[in-house]
Structure 1
């Protein structure tokens, strides 16, 4: 991974405050909270950093991205406050959260956009107030100061390679593959799709292609429709753009009697367990720690008026045509063979967390315990 972060002082205090933003009222509903290493937004002035994440259906944001980001900010800037909110899958809620943070006096906003196009006006409003903006994981449109994510076309390429490897000799130009993509409001979804289709072009037949909107239930419905249309026995492989949707699709596959490889991305714990059990073939591991810590470094550098060129060594063009200094990290294809060398070695999960009672025998067979 290309994350070389400077060592700094360890913070000594942490205080939680609430933003009090309304919930979304649906699956992945909005939640909001804040973590502070010194003072509240009202009193903290120039030392306030806002963190806005898009949804909480995908487990990574609340479980990893938020705490890792907050911890690194505390280490780098003990007097800084991190104010946090989750949009719960609603672009409208996220726009309200941006305005709340502008009113609260934040000086840097780190935004993982629920909708990269709709967030443009909010980014412009923040910039008009002199607030620096870091796009996190998804490249927001508008005058963004910096961006940190993974090489998302490479993620899609790895997904395609993983599916072809899992299909083996069944991967032929006539083999029917079901493709369930992410939400088009997320620019990463287009990158994943581009990388995937490039990797499998001419090697399999994408016989059904639909968006699962990053929602397991929607993905399951689309997959069921695909299986009914194509015939369960005619499906040779299934592409899911992430692990959350894969969970829903796997259930649809079981109900329809589809026996074919399926993969995802994000290396969610349940996906790793499915890989151990053999109901999912692969995922793509994007290490959360270097991504969150790079975002924290960029935020603190911008807060202090320092150069970001040591972190943002690349450039990415956003949907609005803006050239954004970027840090693009390297993803890894995760299969049963390298679980120990990836998520376990990095401390993301312990063997005990993966190998619960339901997966004990499969873990033994996989050499995990």
Structure 2
């Protein structure tokens, strides 16, 4: 081989190698691509006033992602109820090379535009607990059913008194589409079966605000004329029960949602009647599965569709003093020691919580 030919062969080989390297660098979701970006999964949760997000959803999601994808990196942020902050967090994830984002939005209507922008940049979005139009997947519980169960549980607790009872409803934040579903479901169960809805207002998912609204309801309806209180979640139920106790109102049914530690402890103590258990052992792992499968380009494995979005909706469960042991304790969400403080030990024994 002469010198000219040898130089031509070397040049051709160099070009071929450069093209191969370039092709590898462009293989977005492929395992041969950029590990620093292609294995990042974002988790954005909406607020921390409701303790379940930090205590249950986040760790369960992280655990499930790591089990399915050991080299995946989870980038987590909580919006602390600030939609502007959450938008900044969402945009930063995309800028940092995150390929899939599990998003529980502060404002689902505004998040629709974020999802559209993300898709244009090749980023997939799993709508977590709240539906977002245009998302690649959606996982939640049947939120209309949550409200129905709350209403039915109040009716059960009222018994024969239901037909004449004045019910106070303290709903969730009106900007939250889930709150609207809870409210709708509760009205489906209660309307025409209780004396009347004597007072109704939004507690904005804030225990302090809910307590203030409960005080207003007591003034409006009369402390001796309130038969039961619907609270959209456990956090607000805490503020509501404090207001009731401060006014000397005791022994009326008060319901909640989320099976928070404090809510379950109030059920044990007898000041709260029930909660709704939406197991993070279902929700978080399913969202993690969707996220990992989207990252790897696999079928996500949804059970159905919601408004055209592949989705899985789990069934919620009413928890009252009769089934704490067989639900949140049996599932390992809480240990008896988490719930049964010294002042509740005797009641825990009575209820078979161990």
TM-score, normalised by the number of residues in structure 1? 0.84
1:54-203 maps to which residues of 2 (within 5 A)? 54-141=46-133, 143-172=134-163, 174-203=164-193
What displacement does 1:314 show? 1.7
Give the number of equivalent residue pairs.
319
Deviation at 1:364, TM superposition (A): 2.6
Deviation at 1:179, TM superposition (A): 0.2
Q: Are the equivalent residues in 1 in contact too, given 2:139–2:286 (CA < 8 A)?
A: yes
Give 1:246's aligned residue. 237
Query: Could you say what the CA RMSD is over the residues aligned between the two structures, in angstroms?
Result: 1.2
What residue number does 2:344 align with? 359
1: distance between equivalents of 2:128 and 2:101?
10
Structure 1 counterpart SS, 2:132: coil
* 1-structure distance, mates of 2:208, 2:95: 36
CA distance in 1, matches of 2:305, 2:174: 22
Partners of 2:220 and 2:281 lie apart in 1 by 41
Once the two structures are superposed, what CA deviation does each residue of 1:127-185 show, in whole Å capped at 9, x if it has no partner?
Answer: 111100000001123x200000001111111101111111122111x311000001122
Q: In structure 2, what is the equivalent of residue 212 of structure 1? A: 203
Per-residue deviation, 1:187: 1.0
CA distance in 2 between counterparts of 1:170 and 1:218 reads: 28
Secondary structure of the corresponding residue to residue 227 of structure 2:
strand
Mapped contact 1:146–1:326 kept (Cα < 8 A): yes
Contact 2:81 2:106 in 1 (8 A): yes
Ranges in structure 1 where 5+ consecutive residues have no aligned partner: 1-41, 318-322
CA positional deviation for 1:361: 2.2
SS at 2:47 equivalent: coil
Question: In 1, Cα distance between the equivalents of 2:155 and 2:267?
Answer: 16
1:361 & 1:168 partners in 2: Cα distance? 27
**Structure with larger Rg:** 2
Deviation sequence 1:258-300 (CA, Å, 0-9, x none):
2311000100011111101110000011111111000000000
TM-score calculated relative to the size of structure 2 = 0.88
State the 1:43 CA deviation: 6.0
1:8 corresponds in structure 2 to: none
Equivalent in the alignment of 1:344 = 329
Report the secondary structure of 2:224's partner residue.
helix
Q: Secondary structure of the equivalent of 1:149? A: strand
Residue ranges of structure 2 left out of the alignment (5+ in a row): 1-33
Given candidates 256, 275, 280, the residue that maps to 1:283 is: 275
* Runs of 4+ more than 2 Å apart: 364-369
Conservation of the 8 A alpha-carbon contact between 2:57 and 2:280 = yes
Query: Could you tell me which residue of structure 2 aligns to residue 256 of structure 1?
Result: 247
2:284 matches 1:299: no
CA distance in 1, matches of 2:290, 2:37: 19
Most deviating of 71-80 and 297-306: 71-80
Q: Partner of 2:317 in structure 1?
A: 332
Aligned-pair CA distance for 1:367: 2.9
Give the whole-Å Cα distance in 2 for the aligned partners of 1:181 and 1:140: 21
Q: Is residue 44–residue 80 contact of structure 1 (8 Å, CA) maintained in 2?
A: no
Q: Is the 8 A contact 2:325 2:352 kept in 1?
A: no
